[in-house]
Amino acid sequence: MRRVLFAGPGAPASHESTTPVTSFSIGDTDFLRDGEPHRVISGAIHYFRVHPDLWQDRIRKARLMGLNTIETYVAWNAHEPRRGEWDATGWNDLGRFLDLVHAEGMDAIVRPGPYICAEWHNGGLPVWLTGGEHALRSSKPSFLADVSDYLRRVYEIVSPRQIDSGGPVVLVQIENEYGAYGADKAYLEELVRVTREAGITVPLTTVDQPTHQMLADGSLPSLHKTGSFGSRSLERLATLREHQPTGPLMCSEFWDGWFDWWGGVHHTTDVEAAASELDALLAAGASVNIYMFHGGTNFGLTNGANDKGRYLPLVTSYDYDAPLDEAGNPTAKFHAFREVISRYAPVPAEVPAPASPAPELTVPLRRAGTWTDAAATGEPGERPRTFDELGHLSALVRYDVDLPDSAGGLLIVDEVRDLAWVSVDGQHVGTLARTRHNRAIALPAGRVLSILVEDQGRVNYDHRLGEEKGLIGVPRLDGAPLTGWRSTPLDVAAIAASEVFGTAENGPSAWTAEFDLDSPADLFLDTSAWTKGYAFVNGFFLGRYWRNGPQRTLCVPAPATRQGTNEIVVLELAHLLEPIAAFVSAPALGATEE
């Protein structure tokens, strides 16, 4: 036995462990724990998608399903949204999260990227890094310098929590599905060098979808290859074995569900089919990481987006049809997976309590005023400034320009990223949407053109990572360039917190209300009577809502509520069908494909 003090960043000063020092390595056919064969049965929980007060509950429920390991990504842009402003506290306290995993008697897998995908905005890369950068995820020196600084900060937290130091961390991943993006071996080699020099001694892995090209491009001979897939398990394991003749087989992302986008359906997977695939994996002797065990929520403005020819922003919920739902309740998939795991490993006798109905109540909303009619600021420019040029991390920028000779005509923009509300002299004219590939709109005669542009979520996959947001290029009116644009960033969270609203009769409106609770409780806020905007409870930014669906409720975690009086603020971009705030008993994530 060795007494270990966790003194790394984010560790509680007095946290001690008397866990025996152990080893974790890769054998000819198995992972080896203290030299004995060991199977990893893991589940993914992203600490940055779960309220910190709920981490312990989610980790405990993972153990009760039979898991022995928790896996998490590390989101760089959550820790360092602005260059040099590193934060590893509160929601970003990775050290505390890993300590809670350890306290539950479980192991941990850490995947720091730097790219994580995860349906998280910009794939986890900070906007300050990607703006104007044309060689992402490469051995370009300027990119590697920033990545190396980031990884060293993460490893300051992870290194003292490795298994051979008495901690929970048994595996660390290099990059993430890199074979789907590039084949720069020098880049991967540098990530390995930085990782080892920072004191990481546990085995290093990579993950790729099991195609020959991706497995060949996405790894190095010194790294242990794993696969990501959700079906045809035996076929995919065979392909993985072709590229890795020895060592344990592992599916590091067993996709047990899927994510949703605005305007689509709520994706689910058949419980029996998912359980059967898990059984096939375990019967083959493979290790597994279930992606996701608990998805959580894209609180605030953290949702990503996909663009494979059509831009599709992702919804606020990251329920993922996982074994533990968005609110942390066990689902039918939880119990089916638990039964499968029990065939191959010990499972605790205790099971989590089933979900109970959330409190139901409805309160009237009061119109508090308008909220996007701030006076235009900044010096006029030849063209609209992008969000990136403004260093703006919130959802909206308002662009104003004087119309020559107060004339109307046909307005054409190069591109709008991502959704724009167009008005002339305060009167709404129409919208331009990236999803619809809109670029033109007819304007009436008037003096001032205003365009309110929303960043709906940064693309998190492939080569559109890091693209700028806002009005792109120089808009033209009847073919003539419009110049003299005033670009005003609007911080949604700051506006909601200040509750200082305008008095105009027209425009997006702010609404407020109070409601009482007997005690803090998980709630489900029904947004079906609203159109599009942002919601807050007691200052906690729940995220985006949109009648475009499929999502119809926003999850309110119990720690964001309080006994007695609670306050809700709604920033509506269009109009309310009915001025009410309704809380319902269960989530409504939309129609499925069935």
Look at the alpha carbons of 184, 186, 192, 197 in this order and tell me if their dihedral is positive or negative.
negative
State the residue for tokens 């049809």: 321
What dotted CATH number matches 372-492? 2.60.120.260
Q: Give the whole-angstrom CA distance, residue 208 versus residue 224.
A: 11
Picking from 328, 324, 350, the residue whose alpha carbon sits closest to that of residue 336 is 324
DSSP state, residue 375: P
What's the pLDDT at 259?
A: 98
Residue 215 has, within 13 A of its CA and on its CB side, a CA count of 19
Same fold, 4-341 and 372-492: no
Picking from 113, 40, 24, the residue whose alpha carbon sits closest to that of residue 72 is 113
Q: Give the whole-angstrom CA distance, residue 239 versus residue 576.
A: 53
Look at the alpha carbons of 157, 161, 165, 169 in this order and tell me if their dihedral is positive or negative.
negative
DSSP state, residue 456: -
Compute the radius of gyration of the chain from its Cα atoms.
Answer: 25
What's the pLDDT at 9?
A: 41
- Residue 272's φ and ψ, nearest 5 degrees, are -65, -40
Q: Residue 130: which residues within 8 A CB-CB, separation 6 or more?
A: 122, 136, 465, 466
What's the pLDDT at 14?
A: 34
What's the pLDDT at 21?
A: 62
Which CB contacts under 8 angstroms, 24+ apart, belong to 540-544?
540/299, 541/299, 541/300, 541/301, 541/492, 541/493, 541/496, 542/299, 542/316, 543/297, 543/298, 543/299, 543/300, 543/301, 543/302, 543/303, 543/316, 544/301, 544/303, 544/315, 544/316, 544/395, 544/456
Buried b (16+ CB within 10 A) or exposed e, 290-326: bbbbbbbbbbbbbbbbbbeeebbbbbbbbbbbbbbbb
Q: Give the whole-angstrom CA distance, residue 179 versus residue 494.
A: 40
CATH of 361-369+501-584, one of 2.30.30.230, 2.60.120.260, 3.50.50.60, 3.40.50.410: 2.60.120.260
DSSP state, residue 56: H
What's the pLDDT at 1?
A: 27
E strand intervals along 119-275: 169-173, 204-208, 224-229, 250-255
Q: Residue 161: which residues within 8 A CB-CB, separation 6 or more?
A: 6, 8, 11, 95, 98, 99, 102, 108, 167, 168, 169
What's the pLDDT at 594?
A: 63
Token readout for 86 is 């590193």
What's the pLDDT at 241?
A: 97
Per-residue pLDDT of the chain (594 residues; tens, 9 = 90+): 222 333 344 443 333 445 566 899 999 999 999 999 999 999 999 999 999 999 999 999 999 999 999 999 999 999 999 999 999 999 999 999 999 999 999 999 999 999 999 999 999 999 999 987 668 999 999 999 999 999 999 999 999 999 999 999 999 999 999 999 999 999 999 999 999 999 999 999 999 999 999 999 999 999 999 999 999 999 999 999 999 999 999 999 999 999 999 999 999 999 999 999 999 999 999 999 999 999 999 999 999 999 999 999 999 999 999 999 999 999 999 999 999 999 999 999 999 999 999 999 999 999 999 999 988 887 889 999 999 999 999 999 999 999 999 889 999 999 999 999 999 999 999 999 999 999 999 999 999 999 999 999 999 998 899 999 999 999 999 999 999 999 999 999 999 999 999 998 888 999 999 999 999 999 999 999 999 999 999 999 999 999 999 999 999 999 999 999 999 999 999 999 999 999 999 999 999 986
Picking from 60, 43, 523, 107, the residue whose alpha carbon sits closest to that of residue 320 is 43
Per-domain residue ranges for the chain? 4-341, 361-369+501-584, 372-492
What's the pLDDT at 379?
A: 80
What's the pLDDT at 133?
A: 67
DSSP state, residue 385: P
Q: Give the whole-angstrom CA distance, residue 297 versus residue 279.
A: 28
The catalytic site residues sit at 177, 253
State the residue for tokens 């959330």: 358
- 0.85 cut: is pTM over it? yes
SS3 content of the chain, % helix, strand, coil (to 5): 25, 30, 45
- Residue 153's φ and ψ, nearest 5 degrees, are -65, -45
Q: Which fold has domain 4-341?
A: TIM Barrel (3.20.20)
> 413 has which bridge partners?
none
